[in-house]
Amino acid sequence: DAKTTQPPSMDCAEGRAANLPCNHSTISGNEYVYWYRQIHSQGPQYIIHGLKNNETNEMASLIITEDRKSSTLILPHATLRDTAVYYCIAAFWSYQLTFGKGTKLSVIP
């Protein structure tokens, strides 16, 4: 699986959009980009995934660059409940997920 690089931490004001970057410069053509988050003491929660096209669901949007070397997870209106560690994972199959250290997002009132 391709290695991903994420900033260790980020802050975001409540109500504003949270934009979480992820670099995956060695991603191969058939590897998906997955995003999960883990709120303290809970199991990871699936957010979104994509291959080439931008994706949107009720939780977030995923913007993947045309060369697929990086992506951004967007939480459009961050709330305090979005405070969590966010993991960006590049993987061929979903069950081959290798979790890195992720980005600790703190939503500030």
Partner 1 sequence: SAVISQKPSRDICQRGTSLTIQCQVDSQVTMMFWYRQQPGQSLTLIATANQGSEATYESGFVIDKFPISRPNLTFSTLTVSNMSPEDSSIYLCSVEGDRLRSGNTIYFGEGSWLTVV
Give the binding site for partner 1 (CB under 8 A).
32, 34, 36, 41-46, 49, 87, 93-95, 97-102
Q: Which is closer to partner 1, CB of 5 or CB of 94?
A: 94
Give the shortest CB-102-to-partner 1 separation in angstroms. Answer: 7
Give the shortest CB-20-to-partner 1 separation in angstroms. Answer: 16
Query: What residues form DSSP beta bridges with 84?
Result: 105
Spell out the alpha helix ranges (H) of the chain. Answer: none
Give the shortest CB-70-to-partner 1 separation in angstroms. Answer: 20
Q: Which is closer to partner 1, CB of 63 or CB of 97?
A: 97
Q: Which is closer to partner 1, CB of 56 or CB of 98?
A: 98
Q: Which is closer to partner 1, CB of 14 or CB of 99?
A: 99
Give the shortest CB-14-to-partner 1 separation in angstroms. Answer: 26
CA separation for the pair 107, 105 (Å, rounded): 6
Q: Give the residue from 33, 69, 36 showing the smallest Cα distance to 51.
A: 33
CA separation for the pair 12, 93 (Å, rounded): 31
Q: How far is CA 23 from CA 14, 18, 27, 86, 107, in A?
A: 25, 17, 9, 14, 22
